[in-house]
Structure 1
C-alpha cells in the first residue's frame, strides 16, 4: 500500500503530523502508522475504512481522548498531544465537542441538566440561556424538562449534540453519530451537523461506516492498516462505497 498524506495546511484548526499509536508491548498492535492530516475551519470530514483500519483511534487522538505513541496533534497554535491531563481537559472543554454513538446521557437527569453536565463537572456555573439556545438550535426548544427516556433515539442524539455545542467549540468530533438510529432519523442528524459547518464555520470530523453518511461530508479520508489510503472530495455515496470495496479487497 502507498502511504498518503491528507492535506496539510497552515490554516487548519486541527492538525495531526506523523501520528503513531501502538497498544501493548510484547506483541504491540500498531493502530496508527504515520497518519498526517489537517482539518480547516468550516469543513466536514468523514473518516472511513475497514474494521481495524485505525479510524476510531485517529478520532480519539485528534480529540485529545487518547495520546499518540509518536507524532503530534495541534488545535490551532496549541500542541496538545503532550499536555498535562489537567491542561488538556481545560482546552478540550473550550475548543472541542464530542458526540458518541450511544448518546451517553444520564437517564435520571433532565435534558437541560444533561446539556450542562460537562460544565458542572468542571466546576463552572451553568449558563441557562446558553443551554436553552443550544437546545433550540438542535430543534428541542421546550423539551428542557424532559428526561432522556421520554425522547426518541433521534431526539436523544440531538441532546448529545447540544451538550457538545453548548460551549460553542470551533471543532466537533463525532463517532458513528447515526449508528444507533434508523435511516430517516440519521439523515436528520447528519443535516444538523452539516448545518453547523455551513452556518457557523465549525469544523466537523466524523467516523462512520455508512457511505450515505459520508456523502454529507466535503472530504472523506479512507484509512487502511493504520495509514491514509485515499482521500475523496465531495464524493457521492456510490463513489465512497466503491472505494471502500476496493480497500476491503486490498486494492
Structure 2
C-alpha cells in the first residue's frame, strides 16, 4: 500500500522488533491438553507492518498474546526489541508491556468519563509519569484528532474512538504496536481509514505493527502476512494483495 517513506523519526532499538524461536503454548494437561502453538519461529523487523491470519482456532490470538508478553509460552523463546521476556518477573513483564508495547483491540476500551486526551495519557499516568503535552498533542494530531482532545468517547464516532485507542497505544513510544482485529467493530469505510492510519504510522514514523485479522483486505495493508494453521506457521506472503491473501486462505480452509 505505497512505498516506504524515508523519513523515520524514531530509530529502531534492535535488529528485530519481535522474535519467536520455537514457541509452543499448551493449555491444559493430559487428554485435555490443547496445543495452541507448535514450535513457531519468526522474526519481525523494526518499522514493518505484519498481518497474522489463519482459520478459526489456528492460534492467531495466542501468537499475539505470547509475542506481546500477555501470555507466557510453554516452551521456546520470545524477545521484544532484543529483550528475552521468558525470564522476566511479573513486575518486570508488566513494566515492559506498559513502556515498550502498545495494544489496540476490537473493543476500544476507552473510559467514558475521560476526554480523548485523558484516555490517551492514561497509560502514562498509571505508570506515574507526567505526560509531555507537546508529545501528546503531536500523537493526537498524528492520528487526526488534534481538534477532538476535549471530547468524551460518547461524542466521538467509532472510527474516532479507535483513533483515540491507537494514540493511547503510541503515546508511550512503544517498540511494537499489537493490534487484534482493530477494524472488527467498524464499518467498511471507517475500517479502511483506520488501516490507512496504521500503514501511515509504519511508513511515516517508523513504528512496528503486528495485526491479527481475518480480513484479506485488511491484511493487504501489511508488508507481510503470516499464515497459521493448527498452531503452526505454514506460509508467508510478502507485499500481499487482497486477492492473493484470499486465495491462500481458501486453500488453507479447503
Q: Same fold (TM over 0.5)?
A: yes
Shorter-chain TM-score: what band?
A: over 0.9
- 1:29-65 per-residue CA deviation (whole Å, 9 max, x = no partner) reads 1100110111101111100000000011000111111
- 1:182-239 per-residue CA deviation (whole Å, 9 max, x = no partner) reads 1111111111110111112211100000000000011000000000011111121011
Retained in 2: the 8 A contact 1:15–1:39?
Answer: yes
Q: Alpha-carbon deviation of 1:100? A: 0.7
| 1:125-164 equivalence runs, <5 A | 125-164=130-169
Cα distance in 2 for partners of 1:19, 1:39 equals 14
**Which residue number corresponds to residue 6 of structure 1?**
none
Corresponding residue to 1:55 among 51, 60, 65: 60
Q: Alpha-carbon deviation of 1:122? A: 1.8
| 1:101-180 equivalence runs, <5 A | 101-180=106-185
Cα distance in 1 for partners of 2:135, 2:174 equals 13
**Which residue number corresponds to residue 228 of structure 1?**
233
Cα distance in 2 for partners of 1:11, 1:133 equals 27
**Which residue number corresponds to residue 23 of structure 1?**
27
Corresponding residue to 2:196 among 191, 198, 218: 191
Cα distance in 1 for partners of 2:228, 2:86 equals 21
| 1:198-209 equivalence runs, <5 A | 198-209=203-214
Q: Which runs of 5+ in 1 are unaligned?
A: 1-9
Q: TM-score by structure 2 length? A: 0.92
1:238 aligns with 2:243: yes
Mean alpha-carbon deviation: is it higher for 21-30 or for 158-167? 21-30
Corresponding residue to 1:43 among 36, 41, 48: 48
Following TM superposition, the consecutive aligned residue runs of length 4 or more in structure 1 with deviations greater than 4 angstroms are none
- 1:59-100 per-residue CA deviation (whole Å, 9 max, x = no partner) reads 011111111011111112210123111111222222221111
Q: Aligned Cα RMSD in Å?
A: 1.2
> Match of 1:52, SS?
coil
Q: Which runs of 5+ in 2 are unaligned?
A: 1-13
